[in-house]
């Protein structure tokens, strides 16, 4: 029997086509993903991007690659164009904190959000402010090589010196020159972008440099940190679609001019937006839901199943109604998993295992993996998860005494799928031992009533428990209950 076709194929923004994934130095994979500017709470739009890359990280690891994954923290240098102020400073003023206090607050908030969503920690999370010297060394190199020029304490990248400019985004240099809005004075070319900006005397976030006091431009940090921590050429570089231009376009220009090596990145991967009523979820539109707020209503598994229900490159529309659909879907998956755990306790250790069953499980797993290998098709992969649930439920329905080997097979399949999709295996309610004992005793008495034919009172008890958040189900193997979350 041929094994599953596991060769990953992935869409590359640079070539605009799906390509076979072949890392530069297998089995190592170097992956860099642009992290957030830690100026405010992260929202579900951020969650979408980082969950997608988390699944990619998990899947590459599953395939046997040794993945070095860097995701940065931007804590300086990201200018808000409207007011020409660093986003960190703007946030600090808003919250009446010192800039680095704001950074601390939201960086740790971000970390905790990522953990809550069961997003695996990258192997390194470098911060821009810890690389200021590295940045000006890189900028100096660009100036020396003639790719950048200094104007009154500012350093700009000279786009005209880099031929490939526009290859990633499709933006044409001539267009950029035409449609500029008020180019900064001293720029040779409107399309040139800042590597280092001069800071006025009272400016809060500034460092000394060969060009005087100032701060780095937004794009240089990612070039510098990725090269420093992963190397001069990367296998994967990703982020949200919004970063294609100018951020990633500029990164390519900077990095290739710094190192002299091409290509800077072999595979560029970009994630589609999370939308609300068709419009992009964003802070400025005010249509965003913070990860913390979302997790007050939904579990991490709900959020992940929702986000993975559409293809990563497509936009996905958020609404509470849709989230409720996914809560229902999640419950069904988790209930099936619980059924397996419960059945394991009363399973026959020996006995004829379901030959057909094992084959079905293998087939559905193989299908699951090959769908992920097809440009990370998580919607199809979650359809495979549904299929797994159906097979397992049907098996449990058909057997009075399930066989241990079959259940182990099923549980293993769930483990594999959960691990790759980053779903937390549902936990049996912990710390509720006393509640559990009380409910068990009530149900034992209720069983007695049912045996006596006193269904009216039995139903009343069931209803009372339901109102208390305890759902009772009468099954052929006896009553079961679960505590509502």
Which residues, 25 to 84, sit near RNA by CB under 7 A?
34-37, 45-46, 48-49, 74, 78-82
- Prior bond of 435 cis (ω within 30°): no
Site for RNA in 131-150 (CB under 7 A): none
Q: Are 20 and 385 in contact (CB under 8 A)?
A: no
Q: Smallest gap, in angstroms, from Cβ of residue 54 to RNA?
A: 13
Tokens of 10: 């992935």
Q: Smallest gap, in angstroms, from Cβ of residue 433 to RNA?
A: 24
Judged by CB, which is closer to RNA: 40, or 134?
Answer: 40
Judged by CB, which is closer to RNA: 66, or 344?
Answer: 344
Considering only CA atoms, which of 107, 196, 114 is closest in space to residue 148? Answer: 196
Q: Where are the alpha helices (DSSP H) in 179-307?
A: 218-229, 249-259, 291-297, 300-307
Please give the Cα distance from 76 to 89 (Å, whole number): 9
Q: Are 215 and 206 in contact (CB under 8 A)?
A: yes
* β-pair type (9-12, 17-20): antiparallel
- 286 Ramachandran zone, left/alpha/beta (phi>0; psi -120 to 50): left
**Residues 318-357: x where in contact with RNA by CB under 7 A, - otherwise, as a string:** ---xx-xxx-xx--x--xx---------------------
Q: What are phi and psi of 39, to 5 degrees?
A: -120, -10
Q: Smallest gap, in angstroms, from Cβ of residue 27 to RNA?
A: 27
Contacts of 355 (CB under 8 A, 6+ apart): none
Q: HSE of 176 in the Cβ direction (CA atoms, 13 Å)?
A: 18
* β-pair type (148-151, 85-86): unpaired
Judged by CB, which is closer to RNA: 119, or 389?
Answer: 389
Judged by CB, which is closer to RNA: 213, or 474?
Answer: 474
Q: What angle do CA 376, 382, 385 make, to 5 degrees?
A: 130
Site for RNA in 247-266 (CB under 7 A): 247
- Size of interface with RNA, in residues (CB under 7 A): 93
Q: Judged by CB under 7 A, which of 244, 295, 348, 353 binds RNA? A: 244
Q: Judged by CB under 7 A, which of 24, 98, 133, 394 binds RNA? A: 394
**Residues 434-473: x where in contact with RNA by CB under 7 A, - otherwise, as a string:** ----------------x----xx-xx--x--------xxx
Place of tokens 């431009």: 217
Site for RNA in 363-382 (CB under 7 A): 375, 377, 379-380, 382
Q: What are phi and psi of 95, to 5 degrees?
A: -100, 5
**Residues 218-237: x where in contact with RNA by CB under 7 A, - otherwise, as a string:** x-------------------
Stretch that binds RNA, among 112-120, 171-179, 255-263, 431-439 (CB under 7 A): 171-179
Judged by CB, which is closer to RNA: 36, or 99?
Answer: 36
Q: Smallest gap, in angstroms, from Cβ of residue 48 to RNA?
A: 5
Q: Smallest gap, in angstroms, from Cβ of residue 176 to RNA?
A: 5
Stretch that binds RNA, among 23-31, 347-355, 426-434, 474-482 (CB under 7 A): 474-482
Judged by CB, which is closer to RNA: 12, or 325?
Answer: 325
Contacts of 279 (CB under 8 A, 6+ apart): 285, 287
Judged by CB, which is closer to RNA: 119, or 274?
Answer: 274
Judged by CB, which is closer to RNA: 81, or 433?
Answer: 81
* β-pair type (193-198, 154-157): antiparallel
Give yes or no for residue 169 binding RNA (CB under 7 A).
yes
Q: Are 375 and 369 in contact (CB under 8 A)?
A: no
Give yes or no for residue 420 binding RNA (CB under 7 A).
no
Q: Judged by CB under 7 A, which of 1, 2, 3, 16 binds RNA? A: 16
Q: Which helix (H) or strand (E) holds 323?
A: helix 320-344
Please give the Cα distance from 230 to 224 (Å, whole number): 10
Q: DSSP letter for 171, please.
A: -
Stretch that binds RNA, among 94-102, 200-208, 295-303, 309-317 (CB under 7 A): 309-317
Site for RNA in 176-205 (CB under 7 A): 176, 179-181, 183, 190-193
Site for RNA in 273-292 (CB under 7 A): 273-275, 278-284
Q: Give SS3 for 345.
A: coil
Please give the Cα distance from 424 to 426 (Å, whole number): 6
Give yes or no for residue 19 binding RNA (CB under 7 A).
no
């Amino acid at each position: 029997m041929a094994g599953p076709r596991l060769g990953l194929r992935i869409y590359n923004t640079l070539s605009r086509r799906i390509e076979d994934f072949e890392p530069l130095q297998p089995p190592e994979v170097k992956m860099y993903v642009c992290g957030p500017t830690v100026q405010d709470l992260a929202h579900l739009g951020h969650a979408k991007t980082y969950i997608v890359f988390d699944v990619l990280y998990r899947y590459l690891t599953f395939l046997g690659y040794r993945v070095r994954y860097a995701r940065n923290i931007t804590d300086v240098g990201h200018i808000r164009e409207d007011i020409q102020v660093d986003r960190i400073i703007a946030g600090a003023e808003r919250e009446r904190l010192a800039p680095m206090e704001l950074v601390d607050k939201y960086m740790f908030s971000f970390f905790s959000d990522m953990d809550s969503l069961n997003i695996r920690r990258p192997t390194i999370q470098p911060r821009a402010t810890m690389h200021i010297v590295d940045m000006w060394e890189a900028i100096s190199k660009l100036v020396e090589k003639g790719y950048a020029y200094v104007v009154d304490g500012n350093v700009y990248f000279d786009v005209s010196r880099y031929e490939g400019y526009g290859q990633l985004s499709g933006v044409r240099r001539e267009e950029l020159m035409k449609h500029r809005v008020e180019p900064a004075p001293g720029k040779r070319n409107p399309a040139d972008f800042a590597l280092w900006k001069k800071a006025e005397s009272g400016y809060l976030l500034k460092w000394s440099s060969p060009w005087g006091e100032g701060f780095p431009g937004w794009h240089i940090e990612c070039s510098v940190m990725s090269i420093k921590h992963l190397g001069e050429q990367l296998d994967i570089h990703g982020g949200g679609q919004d970063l294609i231009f100018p951020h990633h376009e500029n990164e390519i220009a900077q990095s290739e001019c710094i190192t002299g090596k091409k290509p800077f990145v072999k595979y560029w991967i970009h994630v589609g937006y999370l939308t609300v009523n068709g419009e992009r979820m964003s802070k400025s539109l005010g249509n965003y839901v913070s990860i913390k707020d979302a997790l007050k209503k939904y579990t991490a598994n709900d959020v992940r199943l929702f986000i993975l229900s559409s293809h990563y490159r497509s936009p996905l529309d958020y609404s509470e109604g849709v989230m409720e659909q996914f809560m229902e879907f999640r419950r069904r998956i988790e209930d099936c998993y619980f059924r397996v755990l419960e059945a394991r306790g009363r399973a026959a250790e020996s006995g004829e295992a379901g030959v057909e069953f094992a084959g079905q499980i293998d087939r559905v797993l193989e299908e699951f993996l090959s769908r992920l290998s097809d440009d990370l098709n998580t919607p199809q992969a979650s359809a495979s998860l549904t299929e797994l649930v159906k097979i397992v439920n049907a098996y449990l329905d058909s057997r009075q005494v399930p066989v241990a080997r079959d259940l182990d097979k099923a549980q293993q399949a769930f483990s594999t799928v959960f691990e790759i999709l980053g779903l937390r295996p549902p936990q049996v309610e912990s710390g509720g031992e006393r509640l559990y004992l009380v409910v068990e005793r009530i149900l034992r008495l209720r069983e007695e009533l049912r045996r006596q034919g006193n269904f009216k009172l039995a139903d009343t008890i069931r209803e009372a428990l339901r109102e208390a958040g305890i759902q009772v189900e009468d099954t052929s193997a006896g009553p079961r209950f679960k505590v509502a979350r």
